[in-house]
């Protein structure tokens, strides 16, 4: 069941009722040591680092939903997240998302009214008998099996997986307990022992069964009434552009948010290609999708970067393609684009307009191109400006420039070698012509100097 725009009050009530049922079912799991052990056993069969790092409550909600469906979880993301990973949610799966809770701001409540509502609140003192606590809302996610591939060159296209799920789950549970203020010790004890009177509070966990023990300890804390539950520090939130859980990213890949000004924002994977000294930007956003390549211009003839070139498509594997044949050409407003723009210095980025970025559209055969509508050209210019702003802000520009110079050098060397060979031939020809001219001059001189024969 997914939220839709313009849903009715009855829809909202149904969603709220379903969410409350999910929260109550998760609470029952957290309060039952046997169910928690079963939960941990099932979690250890999952290799997704994102799922393994969810809160214990969200893991209980997730596993309950998977059990009801009889499905096995692989990797989870939002519909938009999958789109940014080159995948799309299958049409018949759109109404079957998994629902989890995420924080959404804070609220101030009366201290006596902070009753249990199934969430893990981060409570702080709001003054005058008030408490400030995190608010939560549900969000929809889809498993990898609910998606289909659109672009297998995107980072995250394949399911993210770790080699040692137990280690990831153990670290996640330890972090959640630490944020409640507990020190966890692994000892030769028969069962979990929670000592709230120690300073700081201590949890002793059987060393032989550390993960299950920590889950049981955390479940016992989360199951307490809010007034008896210690406050939990907020988790350190990774940047929304980090995507640290995705494991098939090329080395150095970042996910960046592009500010397109009048056209909102877009997400790009910035993928450095050291072999060619390029940065490939795989972009997804409103009415745009595809790849642009940025690199230092004429790098082999400059010690440092002076200007940049932007090419439409993925040019990390070659410097030249037949017209319209570059891989992953970008599409803007439904139009597949061709072209490039170069000699763009940092001070000229902000002034780039539709005339400077020169997007073109190909005909059916790709043998010629035509101008695109102004709105498409303007949106494309916004993308190019944002890409260059990110490119020029990189801290590895010097390395990319040198890599680009090394990539260009063989071509320049071949050109210089051809020029040298041509000049050698010309020198040989000129030397021969010079010798011939000298001989002729000598012959003519001899004739001119011959005395008259009277």
Dump strand ranges (E) for 236-287: 254-259, 265-273, 278-285
What integer is the mean pLDDT of 9-32? 87
Confidence of residue 409 (pLDDT cuts 50, 70, 90): very high
pLDDT of residue 52: 97
| Digit-coded pLDDT (tens) for 295-317 | 999 999 999 999 999 999 999 99
- For residue 89, the model assigns a pLDDT of 97
pLDDT, tens digit (0-9, with 9 covering 90-100), for 144-175: 999 999 899 899 999 999 999 999 999 999 99
**Tens-digit pLDDT profile for residues 344-374:** 999 999 999 999 998 998 765 555 567 899 9
User: Is the model's pLDDT at 445 over the cut of 60?
Assistant: yes
Cα→Cα distances 113→121, 123, 181, 227, Å: 13, 13, 24, 10
Looking at per-residue pLDDT, the higher value among 420 and 131 belongs to: 420
320's tokens: 């030249």
Helix, strand or coil, per DSSP, at residue 199: coil
In angstroms, the CA 268 to CA 328 distance is 14
- The arithmetic mean of pLDDT across residues 186-208, rounded, is 90
Average pLDDT estimate for 399-414? 95
**pLDDT at residue 242 tops 80:** no
Tokens of 91: 């049409």
* DSSP state, residue 54: S
Average pLDDT, the chain: 88
Whether the pLDDT of residue 40 is over 80: the answer is yes
Confidence class of residue 394 from pLDDT cuts 50, 70 and 90?
very high
Closest of 222, 306, 250 to residue 39, by C-alpha: 222
pLDDT at 66 over 70: yes
Per-residue model confidence (pLDDT) at position 367: 55
Strand pairing class (340-344; 147-149)? unpaired
Over residues 249-275, mean pLDDT: 95
pLDDT value at residue 132:
53
Give exposure, 25-60, as e/b (b: 16+ Cβ within 10 Å): bbbebbeeeebbbebbebbeebbbbbbbbbbbbbbb
In the chain, what percentage of residues exceed pLDDT 70? 88
**pLDDT > 60? residue 191:** yes
327 pLDDT above the threshold of 60 = yes
Give the mean model confidence (pLDDT) for residues 46-51: 96
Rounded to an integer, the average pLDDT of 188-203 is 90
Greatest mean pLDDT range, 116-130, 318-332, 363-377: 318-332
Q: Give the integer Cα–Cα distance in Å for 370 and 312.
A: 15
Region 13-39 average pLDDT: 91
The pLDDT of residue 18 is above 90: no
pLDDT for position 366: 53
What is residue 105's predicted lDDT score, i.e. its pLDDT? 55
Cβ neighbours of residue 368 under 8 Å, at least 6 residues apart? Answer: 323, 362
Cα 384 to Cα 366: distance, rounded to the nearest angstrom: 23
pLDDT value, residue 134:
54
Question: 89: buried, middle or exposed (CB in 10 Å: 19+, 13-18, 0-12)?
Answer: buried
- Is residue 149 classed as helix, strand or coil in its secondary structure? strand
Give the integer Cα–Cα distance in Å for 290 and 269: 11
Residue 3 has pLDDT above 50, yes or no: no
Average pLDDT over residues 193-211: 92
Between CA 329 and CA 282 the distance in angstroms is 10
The answer to whether 356 and 341 have CB atoms below 8 angstroms apart is yes
- Rounded alpha-carbon distances, angstroms, from residue 56 to 40, 178, 202, 255, 439: 10, 14, 19, 27, 98
- Assign 116 a pLDDT band (cuts: 50, 70, 90): very low
Average pLDDT of span 250-258: 93
Widest CA span in the chain: 142
């Amino acid at each position: 069941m997914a939220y839709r725009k313009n849903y009715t009050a009855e829809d909202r009530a149904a969603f709220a009722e379903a969410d409350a049922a999910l929260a109550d079912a998760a609470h029952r799991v957290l309060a039952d040591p046997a169910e928690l052990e079963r939960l941990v056993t099932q979690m250890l069969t999952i290799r997704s680092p994102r799922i393994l790092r969810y809160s214990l409550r969200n893991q209980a909600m997730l596993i309950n939903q998977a059990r009801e469906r009889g499905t096995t979880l692989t990797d989870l993301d939002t519909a938009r997240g999958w789109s940014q990973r080159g995948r799309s949610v299958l049409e018949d799966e759109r109404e079957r998302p998994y629902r989890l809770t995420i924080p959404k701001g804070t609220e101030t409540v009366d201290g006596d009214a902070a009753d249990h509502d199934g969430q893990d609140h981060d409570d702080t003192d709001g003054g005058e008998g008030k408490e400030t606590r995190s608010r939560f809302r549900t969000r929809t996610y889809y498993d990898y099996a609910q998606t289909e591939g659109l672009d297998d060159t995107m980072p995250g296209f394949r399911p993210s997986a770790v080699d040692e799920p137990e280690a990831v789950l153990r670290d996640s549970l330890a972090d959640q307990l630490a944020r409640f203020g507990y020190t966890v010790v692994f000892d030769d004890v028969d069962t979990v022992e929670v000592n709230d009177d120690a300073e700081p509070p201590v949890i002793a966990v059987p060393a032989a069964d550390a993960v299950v023990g920590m889950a049981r300890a955390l479940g016992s804390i989360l199951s307490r009434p809010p007034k008896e539950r210690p406050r939990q520090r907020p988790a350190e939130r990774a940047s929304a552009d980090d995507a640290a859980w995705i494991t098939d990213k090329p080395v150095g890949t970042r996910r960046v948010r592009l500010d397109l000004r009048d056209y909102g924002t877009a997400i790009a994977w910035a993928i450095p290609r050291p072999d060619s000294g390029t940065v490939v930007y795989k972009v997804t956003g409103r009415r745009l999708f595809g790849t642009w390549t940025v690199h230092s211009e004429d790098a082999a003839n400059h010690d440092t970067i002076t200007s940049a070139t932007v090419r439409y498509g993925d040019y990390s594997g070659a410097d030249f393609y037949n017209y319209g044949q570059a891989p992953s050409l970008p599409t803007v407003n439904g139009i597949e684009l061709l072209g490039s723009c170069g000699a763009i210095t940092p001070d000229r980025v902000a002034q780039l307009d539709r005339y400077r970025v020169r997007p073109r559209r190909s005909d059916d055969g790709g043998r010629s191109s035509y101008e695109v509508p102004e709105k498409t050209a303007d949106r494309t210019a916004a993308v190019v400006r944002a890409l260059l702003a990110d490119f020029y802000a990189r801290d590895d520009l010097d390395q990319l420039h040198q890599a680009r110079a090394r990539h260009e050098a063989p071509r320049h060397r071949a050109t210089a070698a051809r020029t040298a060979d041509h000049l050698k031939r010309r020198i040989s020809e000129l030397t021969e012509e010079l010798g011939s001219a000298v001989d002729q001059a000598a012959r003519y001189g001899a004739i001119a100097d011959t005395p008259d024969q009277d």
